[in-house]
Amino acid sequence: MNFKLPILASAMAVFLFSGSALAQEAPKYDYAEVFKPFFYPQTGTETRSASGQPGHAYWQNSADYNLNVSLNDTKNEITGTAEITYTNNSPDKLGFLWLQLDQNLFSKDSRGNSVVPIAGSRNGAHGEEFDGGYRIKSVQLDGKDVKYTITDTRMQIDLPKELKAKGGIAKIKIDYSFVSPEYGSDRMGVQQTKNGKVFTIAQWYPRMCVYDDVLGWNTMPYLGASEFYLEYGNIIANITVPANHYVVASGELLNEKEVYSKEENNRWSQARNSDKTVTIHSESEIGKNNASGTKTWKFKIDQARDFAWASSSAFVLDAARINLPSGKKSLAISAYPVESEGEKAWGRSTEYTKAAIEHYSQKWYEYTYPAATNVAGNEGGMEYPGIVFCHMDSKGQGLWGVTDHEFGHNWFPMIVGSNERLFAWMDEGFNTFINGISTEAFNKGEYYKKQDMAKAGSFMMSDNLEPIMVGPDNMREASIGALAYYKPGAGMSILRETILGPEKFDKAFRTYIDRWAFKHPTPWDFFHTMENVSGEELNWFWRGWFFNKWKIDQAVKNVKYINGDFKNGVQITVENLGQLPMPTTVQLKFKDGTTKNIKIPVEVWKRNKQWIFKVDSDKEVEIVKLDPDSKIPDINMKNNSLALSDIKPVDKIDTKDFSGTYGSKETQLKITFIEKNGVLYGKAGRQEEFPLEYSGDNKFIFDQENLTIVFSKDKKEITLKDGGKEFKFTKE
């Protein structure tokens, strides 16, 4: 137990808390601010429980799509018809509908183009000059033309009659076309290879905006940096391409016998029963299909928030079986040009895909789609339900990393449908975190390198970064990697490894995924769930790591043997200097090579800025170090350890020699000193005892309140020092 100044209520307080003591600058760490209550902006509602789960009246609208599209591979043009069945499950009548037209980002006068700096950006079309954006040919509601307004990347449809609440259905049909950018904001594009173009097609049809219980219509424009927030539904896509193309897409291929040869269908059957990669369409077979005209590929995916596809005459295709925990099977598929072949490159793509899906299914939540397809394109990496696009030049560890990351997104945000436009960390950060665990598990750690989290403190807690909770469109592009990926991912690791422990964390995190699978959680739903399931108060962590730019800086302030003799044990003083506290692990390394770890819970920092504790030991200490396993980022590593060789040795004493009662005529107070287990305690009047540290030359300190007590050589007098004031006491 720690003590506040024990004589606060006495007459002595008049002297001790006047002058210099009150004039001192307040320490940087403010525990009242860190642990203050009322973190949550509201209590539970009918739609969102205070426990973090969907409320008893939770509702969510849905959007089913029937998509018919054709590809002109010469003009890079997509022409399509989107038939949307939109169901209003909300308690509100709707007088209009909002849709996303994300291809309009590539219009010359788009807002997204306007915010691209002169120096360039990964977002947009990289300066490509082309006639981009949607060409809307017609919009119909229930078979009749309807009024609509397009504003940048949004379309508003005015309804002739309000859409009924709790089940009203609107049927929308939109005819459209657009020219694909060659580089589509690193999310889609067209890549030229020696055997033809590779088309990776996404954001290719008008999609419903989300109407929810948090903001109503979510209509933030698409500027390129922030990603997507989409309704769930069932999607059918009929994709017409040149007859010599092969198409891969989200979901299940419905007409494989029509689009593949008999031999290729036999290979698909082998792949569905093989844990080893089976080649479906080989390099030697590329170019032998000289069929003219077109071919239509039919796909279906259920309970999905989006749909993407890829088409090329240059694809090598291979596949293998994915084994799921329930006994169900899925299929890992890879599609890539010959330039990407090789066992050190895309030849292992299907192996990587299978391993990632099986790991995440076992660890967190079972994969829900019939296939998982990895496509080599010109994107650095981008994710969609059941399909991802990774760069064709990726190899080895890089290819594993991007494949694992993009398929991790099938859990966040494909299964757990958070709002990426506002909270990129809820998909990128969560995914970065689970990627670390999967990489350690893959092939006995083939690509795993243990991170020294402690050394990352200066990077992740830099003053140049915005807070994590700032949306991706509201932070400098250079900050996105840190704030959407690394810092929230590191925060999850800290929460798992240091604050909660793996068992409690994993249970809570699985519960969060299970509760919000195919729903729309907010950050507060996540926070509530983690606290309720783990049983721990965590608002101090959410407040410091996500909402503010608080820094972690803990230090070893002092180490000393009790009464100057190592056989009496050692006394250690640790400090919390940064505004964000953490549970503290202190390691003692003894001169005989052994070590001892002491764990200090975060509750110590609820009312203390430093903590003094004793370790029972009869060994000589070589060094005392914080966070020996490097699990916590710290902005100042220099103060995290203290060697006893750097400390001036303290003369040995017998604390019993300092026992006794001392009085002061000036204050009319008495201070009694008592020895307990080799430690000297002071007690003023009826107040609680307070421990004293011996610092040599008959001097003791109560460091927490900056008090010093000096005994005369004959122990007949003491001088109590506080700041610039001194008080004399005489032994009775």
539 and 639 part of one domain: no
Q: Quick check: 163 and 171 in contact, CB under 8 A?
A: no
pLDDT above 90 (res 709): yes
Decide which of 290 and 394 is more confident.
394
pLDDT above 90 (res 265): yes
CA distance 494 to 500: 9
CATH code for position 483: 1.10.390.10
CA distance 378 to 191: 6
* Range of weakest confidence among 134-143, 595-604, 680-689: 680-689
* Range of weakest confidence among 11-15, 555-559, 603-607: 11-15
Grouping H, G, I as helix, E, B as strand and the rest as coil, residue 182 is coil
Ramachandran assignment for 425, one of left (phi > 0), alpha (psi -120 to 50 degrees), beta (any other): alpha
pLDDT above 50 (res 700): yes
Which residues are CB-contacts of 102 (< 8 A; sequence separation ≥ 6)? 153, 203, 207, 222, 228
664 and 625 part of one domain: no
CA distance 681 to 683: 7
Q: Give me 589's structure tokens.
A: 């390394």
> What was the pLDDT predicted at 23?
33
Q: Give the domain extent around 718.
A: 655-731
CATH code for position 622: 2.60.40
- In degrees and rounded to multiples of 5, residue 123 shows phi and psi of -90, 155
518 occurs within a structural domain: yes
- What are the Cα distances from residue 120, in Å, to 106, 110, 479? 15, 16, 15
- In degrees and rounded to multiples of 5, residue 162 shows phi and psi of -55, 140
- Band of pLDDT at residue 24, cut at 50, 70 and 90: very low
Rounded to the nearest 10 degrees, how much is the dihedral formed by the CA atoms of 103, 104, 110, 111? -70
> What was the pLDDT predicted at 669?
84
The one-letter amino acid at 660: G
pLDDT above 50 (res 19): no
465 and 601 part of one domain: no
CA distance 531 to 534: 5
Mean local confidence (pLDDT), 332-343: 97
540 and 688 part of one domain: no
484 and 579 part of one domain: no
> What was the pLDDT predicted at 323?
98
Q: Quick check: 571 and 693 in contact, CB under 8 A?
A: yes
> What was the pLDDT predicted at 129?
87
pLDDT above 90 (res 120): no
Cis peptide before 27 (omega within 30 of 0): no
| Chosen domain end from 547, 575, 602 | 547
Mean local confidence (pLDDT), 605-625: 94
Largest pairwise CA distance in the chain: 111
507 and 588 part of one domain: no
- Band of pLDDT at residue 21, cut at 50, 70 and 90: very low
| Chosen domain end from 495, 529, 547 | 547
Q: 450 burial class (0-12, 13-18, 19+ CB within 10 angstroms)?
A: exposed
| Chosen domain end from 547, 571, 594 | 547
699 occurs within a structural domain: yes
CATH code for position 205: 2.60.40.290
CA distance 626 to 634: 10
Q: How many residues does the chain have?
A: 732
480 and 576 part of one domain: no
> What was the pLDDT predicted at 667?
75
pLDDT above 80 (res 36): yes
509 occurs within a structural domain: yes
Parallel, antiparallel or unpaired: strands 621-626 and 584-590? antiparallel
Q: Quick check: 159 and 168 in contact, CB under 8 A?
A: no
> What was the pLDDT predicted at 8?
27
565 and 693 part of one domain: no
> What was the pLDDT predicted at 25?
39
609 and 569 part of one domain: yes
CA distance 699 to 682: 13
Grouping H, G, I as helix, E, B as strand and the rest as coil, residue 406 is helix
49 and 64 part of one domain: no
The one-letter amino acid at 130: F
Nearest alpha carbon to residue 414 among 398, 403, 427: 427
Decide which of 15 and 288 is more confident.
288
> What was the pLDDT predicted at 565?
87
Q: Give me 241's structure tokens.
A: 């391409």
pLDDT above 70 (res 605): yes
Mean local confidence (pLDDT), 41-66: 95
Nearest alpha carbon to residue 723 among 25, 30, 9: 25
Ramachandran assignment for 158, one of left (phi > 0), alpha (psi -120 to 50 degrees), beta (any other): beta
Measured between its terminal Cα atoms, the distance across the chain in Å is 29
> What was the pLDDT predicted at 22?
33
CA distance 460 to 291: 55
Mean local confidence (pLDDT), 703-712: 84
- In degrees and rounded to multiples of 5, residue 410 shows phi and psi of -70, -15
pLDDT above 60 (res 1): no
71 occurs within a structural domain: yes
Q: Quick check: 712 and 718 in contact, CB under 8 A?
A: yes
pLDDT tens column, 267-303: 999 999 999 999 999 999 998 877 889 999 999 999 9
- Band of pLDDT at residue 13, cut at 50, 70 and 90: very low
> What was the pLDDT predicted at 14?
34
pLDDT above 90 (res 688): no
> What was the pLDDT predicted at 563?
80
Nearest alpha carbon to residue 33 among 496, 695, 580: 580
Helix, strand and coil content of the chain, in percent to the nearest 5, comes to 25, 35, 40
CA distance 579 to 553: 8
Q: Quick check: 655 and 711 in contact, CB under 8 A?
A: no
Q: Quick check: 428 and 485 in contact, CB under 8 A?
A: yes
Mean local confidence (pLDDT), 25-31: 70
* Range of weakest confidence among 144-153, 262-271, 274-283, 444-453: 444-453
Which residues are CB-contacts of 513 (< 8 A; sequence separation ≥ 6)? 364, 365, 411, 415, 416
75 and 40 part of one domain: no
Mean local confidence (pLDDT), 20-39: 71
pLDDT above 80 (res 17): no
Mean local confidence (pLDDT), 687-695: 84
DSSP, res 497: I
Mean local confidence (pLDDT), 601-616: 95
Average predicted confidence (pLDDT) for the chain: 92
Q: Could you tell me which residues are beta bridge partners of residue 109?
A: none
Q: Quick check: 655 and 678 in contact, CB under 8 A?
A: yes
415 occurs within a structural domain: no
115 occurs within a structural domain: yes
Count Cβ atoms below 10 Å from residue 560 Cβ, excluding itself: 21
H runs (alpha helix) in 248-364: 256-259, 262-271, 349-363
E strand residue ranges, 230-293 = 233-242, 246-249, 252-253, 278-281
Nearest alpha carbon to residue 622 among 677, 576, 561: 561
Which residues are CB-contacts of 269 (< 8 A; sequence separation ≥ 6)? none
pLDDT above 90 (res 712): yes
Q: Which residue has the tokens 């239509």?
A: 296
Number of domains in the chain: 4
497 and 480 part of one domain: yes
pLDDT above 50 (res 11): no
> What was the pLDDT predicted at 154?
98
CATH code for position 710: 2.40.128.50
214 occurs within a structural domain: yes
CA distance 46 to 37: 23
pTM of the predicted model, to two decimals?
Answer: 0.89
443 occurs within a structural domain: no
% of residues, the chain, pLDDT over 70: 96
CA distance 354 to 322: 6
* Range of weakest confidence among 157-166, 536-545, 557-566: 557-566
- Band of pLDDT at residue 601, cut at 50, 70 and 90: very high
> What was the pLDDT predicted at 208?
98
pLDDT tens column, 479-534: 999 999 999 999 999 999 999 999 999 999 999 999 999 999 999 999 999 999 99
Q: Quick check: 441 and 459 in contact, CB under 8 A?
A: no
pLDDT above 80 (res 18): no
> What was the pLDDT predicted at 641?
95
